[in-house]
């Protein structure tokens, strides 16, 4: 017994000593904290690659031979590709970050800045070759033997060249043979890398050469010129096999806004490309053209050219000079979309084309499929199929100002019969085609069911009406129609469709004849597991017998995550592979081997790369990208339960500092948005704040952080927040280790609104931070989301703001939920952040609240980052906000001296000279 007590004491002593040696996180750690991205695995599962990426600085290409257990790391690789067979890795190596930074500081010209280079890795031997001075490179989708890269040509001093010119190099990875192409404007490989096309466009001053299109048969080492005229060439597209090439061309050299293009076609073995369609092609609607946005492409089997056409736009009036031309936007009450939204979408609308078909075997004929009345077009079976699905939301666009419920009219076009068949009007969801195109399927939100239309029999079936579970989101809590849990995919030959419910996947006959089957055998619902298909093969188009499918699994009770596999057949076999106290934010599988690479982490374990070759019976950790994490204090995450003031059982997450001592009292930061408890095992990277507190940063510095879930009703979002958050804070404060006199709240956007509301209802929080808050729903209701140009009315009537009625019908609710009208009740020091280019919440909302509180003499500050968005984008601003958040909360919750920006402000005369970080020790 004495020995056991001594051992326990020794363990505690060692743990305390270890904790004492660790440092709290500070603002200097961010740049070097790394993450993994661009993770790829070869088809045979022998080569695994990734980028190790610091938040700021030089990336590292990580190449691992799983067969040889050897690792190669190459510094400063920014982008890379791997051949599917695993033979080669090719990447662009950037100049050192410090050199690039110095060049920006000195404002060097582009040609005088540090140059990049190309790296080629032979994955079999991990041998490395480098090519200096490479600006960019391109590889086939399935890189095999060739790549193309661009270098700067030496200046011709005899001709006194002022501009750098680029050379395009076609490089054979195996033989290292190279072809050089001058004046390349555009170039393209086919999918498998056996064909290559280049558009060479010499300088207009060079009268000795004309533009040309070159075709390379890389398999047979043949190069030929297929077009050579004074013309503009663009929008190249190969069929997958590299046997056919299509592109646009125009001989119009004028400076008009919109040129008419002709469609050129080349088939391997021909002497040159031919014009397959022009402005007078049969079938092209009158007044329509192929324009610069027509972008042709081949169907999967190469038997169709899919291309857009559009009405020729009216030319700009050049009779009025610019400085005498009125500039205005006219808002009309009958416009389908309001002017701001039209302006946001202007470029998209100007480039809109309408899908049609050209048959390469039948030139000079165009089949117009989509129209202005039926603009959306999807052709079945990767554009090979018999049916096209046409749809339109145009009749319902005015209503989108206040109603986000999707509504579409839909038709099918039968390529065999030429018949256009209506599917449905005002359907309550966007329609989609089945894998082979035999059915049109859609979710009807109003009826809360899935429907399928048989494109040949022309009959409609309610797919889910006889199943005794819901297929709509049962946790939907806004006053709008609920979304479904999702469509998984289709069986071979469209024999069945797979649909998600809350837990399981269902196998349903689209004809409605066979009885629906629970594809996952009811395991999800019985065990409270959310089972979802993981698409490990991006090219898999349908499910076949004897498939082995990977499913993700989330335990709704324990919040644990993992994987199951499902072997399809006459009787499906569902096997548990792993359930653990981690999240797995990424998984990739080798196409031809049962090798899975995955990221794994939780709150106190960084996301590193692991591999399993036996379905998680065992796995190997391959990286340790943040070893410095062991030098810093971290913490733990645990579930916390309480009952709201409205009697609703709720959960949240409590993050406790490393070395937590229940005999101590800890200050508390409370962050919230809507619901986060399902993220119990999520890893958070220490990073500069875009808008919210960084949880590990505050936990590391001795705070308890509480993240409560919120339960909402309709009409009273502010009160709902109060009932959940304040009840949660009071329940947490009953623990002896909580310093209830030093608790603070912080949130952004919807969270910022809730913070702004809460401080009008309670004085229990020592300080509060509100980012981009709506403070006045009566003025915000009529505002614009400037990033999209949309009216904000739908938010209050149907979505997150949850009022559920128009302001005209329920003005009292808009006022009751607006903090600005109750600002006199605020006793809590408030830090607002609201930026002047906020595209989601008009920044005058922050100004209204600030000005009202200021008038009343309340302690309030507002951070307005210049030319910044709803959430900060500029890293320099993120770092600044992080410092100010820490200083603000440390002052009020820990008693640290306040910085000058809080005590004295920062006058405009000091802008750019001082930041006011220094502590005001006089106070």
CB contact set of 461 (below 8 Å; sequence gap of 6+): 451, 452, 453, 454, 510, 511, 512
Q: Percent of the chain scored above 70 by pLDDT?
A: 97
DSSP state letter for 312: P
Q: What proportion of the chain, given as a percentage, has pLDDT over 90?
A: 89
Q: Find the mean pLDDT for residues 799-822.
A: 97
What's the predicted TM-score (pTM) here? 0.94
- Provide the pLDDT for residue 106: 82
DSSP for 638-668 reads: EEEEEE-TTS-EEEEEEEEETT--TTS-EEE
Mean pLDDT of 623-648: 98
> Given a cut of 80, is residue 204 above it in pLDDT?
no
pLDDT in tens, 247-289: 999 998 877 778 999 999 999 999 999 999 998 999 999 999 9
Q: How confident is the model at residue 315 (pLDDT cuts 50, 70, 90)?
A: confident
Residue with token string 């997150």:
800
H and E: helices and strands count for the chain: 15, 55
* 3-state helix, strand and coil shares in percent for the chain, rounded to the nearest 5: 15, 35, 50
Note the pLDDT tens digit of each residue in 828-886. Answer: 999 999 999 999 999 999 999 999 999 999 999 999 999 999 999 999 999 999 999 99
Q: Average per-residue pLDDT in the chain?
A: 94
What mean pLDDT is predicted for residues 323-335? 91
What is the band of 15 on the pLDDT scale with cuts at 50, 70, 90?
A: low
Taking a C-beta distance cutoff of 8 angstroms, is the pair 344, 787 a contact? yes
Residue 407 tokens, joined: 């509504």
- Closest to 267 (Cα-Cα) out of 306, 217, 220, 232: 217
Average pLDDT of the residues in 767-783: 97
> Which of the four pLDDT bands, split at 50, 70 and 90, describes residue 19?
low
8 Å CB contact between 668 and 654: no
Beta strand pairing status for 767-771 and 830-833?
parallel
**Predicted local distance difference test score (pLDDT) of residue 923:** 66
The token pair at 917 is 């970080």
pLDDT (0 to 100) of residue 158: 46
* pLDDT for residue 107: 84
What was the pLDDT predicted at 588? 98
Strand partners, 565: 550, 575
pLDDT classification of 104: cutoffs 50, 70, 90:
confident
Q: What is the mean pLDDT of residues 95-114?
A: 85
Strands (E), 830-869: 830-833, 860-863
Q: Average pLDDT in the 760-765 region?
A: 98
Query: Mind listing the pLDDT tens digit for each residue in 650-667?
Result: 999 999 999 999 999 999
> Angle at CA 52, nearest 5°, toward 49 and 57?
145
More confident residue, 144 or 174: 174
Q: What is the pLDDT of residues 511-565, one digit of tens each?
A: 999 999 999 999 999 999 999 999 999 999 999 999 999 999 999 999 999 999 9
State how far the Cα of 104 lies from the Cα of 625, in Å rounded to an integer. Answer: 29
The per-residue pLDDT for 157 is 47
Q: How far apart are the first and last CA of the chain?
A: 56
Q: Give 921's pLDDT tier (boundaries 50, 70, 90).
A: confident
pLDDT at 16: 54
Instruction: Tell me: pLDDT of 91 over 90.
Output: yes
Contact by Cβ (8 Å): 763, 830: no
pLDDT tens digits, one per residue of 445-458: 999 999 999 999 99
**For residue 272, what pLDDT is reported?**
96
Using pLDDT thresholds of 50, 70 and 90, give the confidence band for residue 12. very low
Torsion (CA) 840, 841, 843, 848 in degrees, nearest 10: 170
Tokens for 230, please give them: 């004074």
Collapse the DSSP code of 208 into the 3-class scheme (helix H, G, I; strand E, B; otherwise coil) and give the result: coil
Nearest to 554 by CA among 566, 563, 541: 563
Q: Does residue 162 register a pLDDT over 80?
A: no
């Amino acid at each position: 017994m004495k020995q056991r007590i001594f051992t326990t004491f020794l363990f505690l002593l060692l743990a305390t000593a270890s904790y004492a040696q660790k440092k709290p996180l500070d603002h200097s750690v961010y740049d070097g904290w790394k993450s993994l991205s661009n993770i790829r695995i070869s088809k045979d599962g022998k080569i695994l690659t990734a980028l190790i990426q610091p938040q700021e600085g030089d990336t590292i290409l990580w190449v691992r031979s799983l067969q040889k257990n050897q690792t190669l790391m190459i510094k400063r690789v920014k982008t890379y590709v791997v051949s599917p067979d695993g033979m080669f890795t090719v990447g662009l190596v950037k100049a050192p970050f410090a050199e690039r930074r110095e060049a920006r500081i000195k404002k060097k010209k582009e040609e005088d800045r540090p140059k990049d280079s190309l790296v080629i890795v032979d994955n079999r031997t991990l041998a490395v070759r480098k090519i200096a001075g490479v600006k960019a490179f391109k590889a086939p989708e399935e890189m095999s033997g060739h790549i193309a890269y661009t270098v700067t040509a030496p200046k011709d001093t005899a001709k006194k060249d002022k501009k750098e010119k680029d050379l395009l190099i076609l490089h054979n990875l195996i033989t290292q043979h190279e072809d050089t192409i001058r004046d390349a404007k555009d170039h393209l490989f086919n999918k498998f890398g056996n064909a290559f096309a280049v558009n060479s466009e010499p300088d207009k001053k060079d009268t000795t050469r004309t533009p040309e299109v070159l075709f390379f048969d890389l398999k047979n080492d043949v190069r030929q010129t297929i077009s050579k005229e004074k013309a503009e060439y663009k929008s190249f597209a190969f069929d997958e096999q590299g046997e056919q090439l299509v592109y646009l061309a125009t001989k119009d050299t004028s400076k008009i806004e919109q040129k008419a293009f002709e469609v050129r076609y080349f088939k391997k073995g021909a002497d040159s490309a031919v014009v397959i369609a022009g402005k007078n092609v049969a079938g092209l609607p009158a007044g329509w053209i192929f324009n610069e946005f027509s972008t042709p492409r081949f169907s999967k089997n190469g038997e169709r050219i899919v291309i857009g056409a559009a009405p020729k736009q009216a030319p700009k009036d050049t009779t009025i000079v610019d400085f005498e031309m009125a500039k205005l936007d006219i808002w009309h009450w009958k416009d389908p979309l309001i002017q701001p939204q039209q302006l946001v979408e202007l470029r998209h609308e100007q480039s809109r084309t309408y899908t049609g078909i050209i048959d390469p075997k039948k030139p000079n004929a165009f089949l117009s499929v989509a129209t202005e009345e039926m603009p959306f077009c999807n052709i079945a079976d990767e554009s090979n199929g018999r049916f096209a699905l046409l749809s339109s939301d145009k009749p319902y666009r005015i209503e989108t100002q206040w109603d986000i419920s999707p509504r579409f009219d839909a038709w099918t076009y039968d390529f065999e019969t030429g018949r256009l068949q209506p599917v449905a009007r005002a359907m309550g969801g966007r329609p989609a085609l089945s894998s082979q195109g035999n059915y049109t399927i859609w979710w009807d939100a109003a009826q809360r069911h899935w429907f399928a239309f048989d494109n040949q029999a022309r009959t409609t079936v309610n797919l889910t009406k006889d199943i005794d579970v819901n297929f709509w989101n049962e946790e939907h809590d806004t006053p709008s129609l609920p979304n479904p849990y999702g469509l998984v995919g289709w069986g071979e030959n469209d024999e069945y469709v797979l649909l998600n419910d809350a837990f399981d996947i269902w196998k349903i006959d689209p004809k409605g004849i066979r009885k629906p089957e629970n594809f996952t055998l009811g395991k999800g619902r019985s065990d409270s597991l959310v089972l979802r298909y993981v698409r490990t093969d991006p090219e898999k188009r349908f499910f076949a017998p004897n498939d082995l499918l990977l499913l993700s699994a989330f335990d709704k009770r324990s919040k644990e995550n993992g994987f199951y596999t499902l072997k399809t057949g006459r009787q499906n076999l569902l096997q548990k592979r792993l359930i653990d106290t981690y999240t797995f934010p990424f998984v990739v599988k080798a196409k031809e081997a049962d090798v899975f690479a995955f990221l794994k982490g939780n709150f106190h374990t960084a996301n590193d790369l692991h591999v399993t070759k036996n379905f998680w019976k065992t796995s190997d950790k391959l990286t340790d990208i943040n070893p410095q994490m062991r030098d810093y204090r971290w913490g733990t995450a645990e579930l916390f339960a309480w009952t709201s003031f409205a009697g609703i059982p709720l959960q949240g997450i409590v993050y406790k500092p490393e070395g937590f001592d229940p005999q101590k009292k800890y200050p508390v930061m409370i962050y919230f948005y809507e619901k986060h408890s399902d993220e119990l095992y999520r890893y958070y990277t220490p990073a500069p704040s875009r808008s919210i507190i960084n949880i590990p940063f505050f936990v590391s510095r001795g705070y308890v952080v509480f993240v409560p879930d919120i339960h909402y009703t309709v009409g009273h979002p502010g009160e709902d927040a109060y009932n959940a958050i304040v009840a949660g804070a009071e329940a947490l404060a009953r623990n002896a280790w909580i310093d209830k006199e030093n608790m603070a709240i912080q949130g952004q956007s919807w969270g910022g609104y809730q913070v702004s509301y809460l401080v009008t209802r309670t004085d229990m929080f020592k300080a509060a931070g509100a980012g981009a808050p709506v403070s006045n729903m009566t003025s915000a209701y009529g505002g614009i989301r400037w990033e999209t140009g949309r009216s904000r009315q739908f938010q209050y009537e149907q979505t997150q703001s949850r009022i559920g009625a128009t302001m005209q019908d329920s003005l009292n609710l808009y006022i009751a939920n607006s903090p600005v009208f109750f600002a006199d009740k605020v006793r809590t020091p408030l830090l607002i952040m609201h930026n002047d280019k906020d595209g989601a919440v008009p920044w005058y909302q922050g100004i209204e609240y600030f000005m009202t509180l200021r008038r009343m003499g309340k302690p309030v500050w507002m951070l307005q980052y210049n030319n910044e968005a709803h959430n900060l984008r500029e890293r320099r601003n993120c770092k600044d906000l992080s410092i100010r958040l820490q200083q603000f909360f440390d002052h009020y919750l820990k008693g640290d001296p306040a910085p000058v920006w809080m005590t004295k402000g920062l006058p405009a005369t000091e802008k750019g000279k001082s930041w006011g970080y220094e502590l005001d020790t006089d106070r």
